[in-house]
Amino acid sequence: MNIICRKAVVEDVEQLDLVMQVIADGPGNLEKMRRLVEKIGRNEEKYLLVAEDREEGRIVGSLLGVVFEDVCGDGSPILLVENVAVLAQRQGQGIGRLMFEEVERWGRENHCHYEMLVSGLGRRGAHKFYQALGFEEVKGFKKYL
């Protein structure tokens, strides 16, 4: 297994959509996704990370890291991690851990003083993994319709 973590590029969209279907209700809007991948790629405060299996030549995982300002304390920014997904057949192989190591390295490089993770409440298996990484469960979100 030869996994590398890197920034997503527009050419990744079809494979990225397959990964996102692990956490979504179905396929995404590929044209919109292309525009968003390009836009996110230009923003230094966002990191759309993909985990690529170099031997297979395909994307097997992804997450989105966002650095945002915090006016509290010394004003150090916060790292928010969202949209964490690994293809079902590749879960349990260390890919998620590798992705978190990379996004946390990036967060430290951006002087973030802590990290928050957003995950759907029904993803209990994923939550066990997140707890093994040191995250604590905090419930509370409001969905806008």
Residue 102 sits in a domain whose CATH number is 3.40.630.30
Q: How many folded domains does the chain comprise?
A: 1
Residue 42 above 90 pLDDT? yes
Question: Is residue 126 assigned to a domain?
Answer: yes
Question: Is residue 143 assigned to a domain?
Answer: no
Question: Is residue 139 assigned to a domain?
Answer: no
Looking at residues 102-122, what average pLDDT do you find? 88
Per mean pLDDT, which range of 48-52, 90-94, 137-141 is the poorest? 137-141
Query: Rounded to whole angstroms, what are the CA distances from 125 to 18, 63, 119, 129, 130?
Result: 19, 17, 11, 7, 9
CA 68/CA 53 separation, integer angstroms: 30
Residue 122 above 90 pLDDT? no
Give the global pTM.
0.89
Residue 112 above 60 pLDDT? yes
